[in-house]
Amino acid sequence: MRLTVLGTGYLGAVHAACMADIGHEVLGADADAEKVAALAHRVPPFFEPGFRDVLTRALDSGHLRFTTSLAEAGRFGDVHFICVGTPQRADSWAADVGSVDAVVDVLAPVVRPGSLIVGKSTVPVGTTARLAERLRELAPASGTDIAWNPEFLREGHAVQDSLRPSRLVIGVRTDEAESTLRQLYAPLAAAGVRVIRTDPATAELAKVAANSFLATKISFINAMAEVCDAAGADVLTLADVLGSDPRIGRRSLTPGLGFGGSCLPKDVRALISRAEELGVAPAVALLRAVDEINARQRRRTVRLARHMLGGTFSGRGVAVLGAAFKPNSDDVRDSPALAVAAAMQSRGARVRVHDFEAVEPARRVLPSVDFTTDLAKACESAELVLHLTEWPQYGRIDPARLATLVRRPCLIDARNSLDLARWRSAGWTARALGRP
């Protein structure tokens, strides 16, 4: 099939390359000429394991190309995927769908009659119905249909989640739209991927509801970590006990610094905002607590760091391990690690941050902080080391060797993924949230 992908950021670029990789003819479109040029030259504008390989295969096969003309993209495809960003609005917790609306306004006059527009961006429930009305106003005779097909990509696993997703949700209004999307995704369905047909409103809710539930599990175990600190209990053992219950499960029950990134925080807030607009705010009151617990974890980590430094940050050298909001990514949007680093620096600490992939993006966010890809340099003469992003490489650090570089062998494992006994046996004073 001939597909267009409107927006070639993280979501759009991965979707375009993966759809071309399974055999479709794909045209990716974006107004950012620099991004389009980089993709066309096989240079990913972000770090994502495996993406460069699939991008190269798709371009070499001739199934994928890119353009800066949305009008050209509109004329090219039979199916048009909207993959633009929907960040949190500056003036509220609601999602900013301005880019989604703009894409529809450009597409409506130029798409071929009978085309299907498919949203993948994360939007407030009711968006498909609103855009369908907009299409009827702009192109009443085109017969263009609109559906919603939310993405469930995990950064660090985006290629896998595109080619072998846990499920495909297609929110459609007509049998014809369902038939088109089932044909498009036939190679994935043949490999055993479950395709779930819903109405568009349910599909729109699917992504924010899934992220809100994951956020709730994370904040719940982080709340228990604070209780464990007060009671002298061990939150990791508690998480194992809870996770052994098949109704609960162990995934997303790892206590620590909390969630960040471009999805969970803004999706939780967007669902709260939309529920308020719909007049059902009490139904999502729990999510306000989820958001507050998440923010509290960052403050708790800063307080613990100050305590381990004797009550003051002023002039103290601090090494931060990690800048990205999660491992296997260079994404620093709403990064808990950067939030903690900035808070310590604002209180007078001399902060040096290490990361394997996110140094340049992080430097653009916090230009006054010292960033490095040299782990030894990051830790040299530090009085406290904070482990804030769970890159697997940090788990392989030799604590005895690192102890020779720092001024004081003091560690906070804010991700609860290091072997504290190993660090303590090497002479470190090591703490973690929720563990004795």
Active site members: 263
How far is 217 from 253, CA to CA, in rounded Å? 6
| End-to-end alpha carbon distance in the chain | 58
Per DSSP, the three-state class of 347 is coil
Total residues belonging to the chain: 436
Q: Tell me, what amino acid is at 60?
A: D
DSSP-assigned beta bridge partners for residue 95: 88
Question: Phi/psi at 432 (nearest 5 deg)?
Answer: -145, 150
Nearest to 369 by CA among 391, 388, 346: 346
Q: What is the dihedral angle through the alpha carbons of 421, 423, 427, 432, rounded to the nearest 10 degrees?
A: -80
How far is 323 from 304, CA to CA, in rounded Å? 19
DSSP-assigned beta bridge partners for residue 320: 353, 386
Angle at which helix 10-21 crosses helix 51-61, to 10 degrees, equals: 50
Q: Which two tokens stand for residue 48?
A: 């994502």
How far is 313 from 305, CA to CA, in rounded Å? 8
- Residue 209 CB partners (closer than 8 Å, separation 6+): 271
